Structure 1
Amino acid sequence: MKSIFLLITVISGLFSNENPQLTLKISNIEKMQGEIIIGVFNQDKNFLKDGFAIKNYKIKVEKNTAVINITDLPKGEYAITMYHDENSDNECNRNFVGIPKEGYAFSNNFKPRFGPPKFKDCKFELSGNKTLQIKMIN
């Protein structure tokens, strides 16, 4: 009887419709103002392009760290982008070369060297509950 219950529990877990929880722990926030704007992408095509994130989230900045729990993403491959909208103008302000003037970050703590990252640089697998530690680049 116990083995049948265990088998049913394992099988129902495999076919569960529940989304895993993705926790983002963001550190190195420089200024205590504005919001962190987060974009979630699930494919290489249109990665980093405005309006193509499958989900967007905002966190009000109150201290130099922030945490957000995301529970509305199904299992899959994703890449996270974020920027600190310090002046609340709803855009990532850039210098004349195109480098962000406000803090920014990517999943896998990818640091761009000679141009923006690609999806493969930032992607991760969300197959169960997961926590990502992401450090802002200022």
Structure 2
Amino acid sequence: MTTIILYLSFIASFFGHDNPQLTVHVKNIKSLKGEIIIGVFNTDKDFLKDGVAIKNYTISVDEVNETIVINDLPKGEYALSLYHDENSDNECNRNFLGIPKEAYGFSNNVKPKFSAPSYEECKFMLVENKTLDIILLH
């Protein structure tokens, strides 16, 4: 009987979802058009470089405060970057100096001063259910 219980426990843990839930509230959305694009990084190597996020999520903007619930990240260390792709061209449009023309934000609500923030500034631990409030910068 003990063997059957252990076997069933193993099967349940294999198929069960033990990933923590990450809830992201995006605040300070000024227009109800386009999408919020979220990039998830788990290392400082290539942080914020195009095409290297380990996961990307896209949500259509239809509220002033959007919420996305992420359930497919295993426990670990992460950093998020996001932007409001108002014109739905799938890129964060920038001016000639490289400064985003579309609203953007980072985990820990890091506000860049003279350059992009570092992974260290934006990182957080996801070991249990967590909620992040990220305020878009304009």
TM-score (normalizing by structure 1): 0.87
Give the corresponding residue for 1:76. 76
Alpha-carbon distance, 1:62 to partner: 0.7
State the secondary structure of the residue aligned to 1:121.
Answer: helix
After TM superposition, the structure 1 = structure 2 runs for residues 100-119 of structure 1, keeping only pairs within 5 Å, are 100-119=100-119
Please tell me the residue identity of whatever aligns with 1:47. Answer: F
Q: In 1, distance between residues paired with 2:128 and 2:89?
A: 35
Q: In 2, distance between residues paired with 1:17 and 1:25?
A: 22
State the secondary structure of the residue aligned to 2:82.
Answer: strand
Give the corresponding residue for 2:9. none
Q: In 2, distance between residues paired with 1:72 and 1:96?
A: 37
Q: Deviations over 1:50-102 (max 9, x none)?
A: 11100000010012110000000000000000000000111000011110000
Give the corresponding residue for 1:19. 19
Query: How many residue pairs get matched?
Result: 124
Give the corresponding residue for 1:29. 29
State the secondary structure of the residue aligned to 2:59.
Answer: strand
Over the aligned positions, Cα root-mean-square deviation in angstroms equals: 1.3
State the secondary structure of the residue aligned to 1:50.
Answer: coil
Please tell me the residue identity of whatever aligns with 1:98. Answer: G
Q: Deviations over 1:38-58 (max 9, x none)?
A: 000000000000111000000
- Identity of paired residues, percent? 62
Query: Which ranges of structure 2 fall in alignment gaps of 5 or more residues?
Result: 1-12
Alpha-carbon distance, 1:17 to partner: 6.0
State the secondary structure of the residue aligned to 1:134.
Answer: strand
Give the corresponding residue for 2:130. 130
Q: In 1, distance between residues paired with 2:89 and 2:17?
A: 38
Q: In 2, distance between residues paired with 1:63 and 1:20?
A: 25
Give the corresponding residue for 1:92. 92
Give the corresponding residue for 1:66. 66
